[in-house]
Amino acid sequence: MRICELKQKDVINTCTCKSLGCPADVELNCETGCITAIIVPVPGKLHTLFGPCHEYVIPWKCIKQIGDDIILVEIQEDKFLNKG
């Protein structure tokens, strides 16, 4: 799977059955070349060059399944919310 395909899938938190949005970016471990987390912008929050960025940083280990259209994750949203 390519990263561009990953970015088109809806991320669903299985703990709340809530859609978190679509991944906008990934974090990589430069030493291993492995993806360590996906970055999902918080819906409704504007991302600007000058303002704070609200996003979920979801560790790869929290991803439970990747399907054709969705990515199922299991997280406590407040623990993984990055407020810039």
Note down the domain range covering 69. Answer: 3-82
The model's pLDDT over 51-67, given as tens digits with 9 standing for 90+, comes to 557 899 999 999 999 99
Q: Report the CATH number that the domain containing residue 32 is assigned in CATH.
A: 2.30.30.240
The model's pLDDT over 5-39, given as tens digits with 9 standing for 90+, comes to 999 999 999 999 999 999 999 999 999 999 999 99
Domain count, the chain: 1
Q: What is the pTM of this model?
A: 0.84
> Biggest alpha carbon distance in the chain?
35
> Tell me, what's the pLDDT at 54?
86
User: Quick check: 84 pLDDT over 70?
Assistant: no
43 and 56 in contact (C-beta within 8 Å)?
no
Nearest to 52 by CA among 81, 27, 25: 81
Q: Please report which helix (H) or strand (E) contains residue 73, including its range.
A: strand 70-73
C-alpha distance from residue 42 to each of 14, 30, 34 (Å): 17, 26, 24
